[in-house]
Chain A
């Protein structure tokens, strides 16, 4: 059974940093691309960042480019999202999602999400 467990969310001041983690189980982690998708309170889904199974291809939404860094540690079956220079508009539930393939096309399994609140 595929399981994705996010952690690392919390309250942070504007301009601050936070690192999210997503621990995966139930599949061969290194074979699949992974993404972070966020959802601001009462809003829709926004794809944030993705990384191929090999880690060689990395993508970011324009809204986070230059501030967020995605990475993966295959031996630890863990996906990360380093978030710097956080803004109020980054407040959202952040979901970790597994892709159907080794490249980014379709998120098939999702974690339960971790809430990030950026506020003074």
Chain B
């Protein structure tokens, strides 16, 4: 089964807002609200930033927000900070035989 589709890279300046997308199908992103986003810094384990499309775990900054429309989910980071520079992965539950799909990842560069 194909991975979810994410742009390879996005960039923004400190203080700006950026949005990155995650496109799936009607069998995953479009069908369920089990869409999550992970942040991964080099050499580190992924960290859950959003779950169930738009919910933030305790301790995650409210600068991170999520939404979904049809088969596409989006992650928005407002007030960009240097520490936000990382790889971001989306994930979705799927009704296919493998219950979890990841996106290919988006590299966020803070200029």
Chain A residues with CB under 8 Å of chain B are: 35, 37, 44-47, 50, 59-62, 95, 100, 104-113
Contacts and interface: CB of A to CB of B under 8 A. Distances in A.
The size bracket of the interface on B is 20 to 34
B63 interface: no
26 contacts: A35-B100, A37-B46, A37-B102, A44-B3, A44-B87, A44-B102, A44-B105, A45-B89, A45-B102, A47-B98, A47-B101, A47-B102, A59-B99, A61-B98, A62-B98, A95-B46, A104-B99, A104-B100, A105-B34, A105-B99, A105-B100, A107-B46, A108-B48, A108-B51, A110-B45, A111-B45
Contacts, number: 65
Given A44-B3, A45-B46, A111-B45, A106 B36 contact: yes
A106 B34 CA distance: 7
Contact of B100 (A62, A107, A110, A113): A107
A44 B104 contact: yes
A42 to B, nearest CB: 11
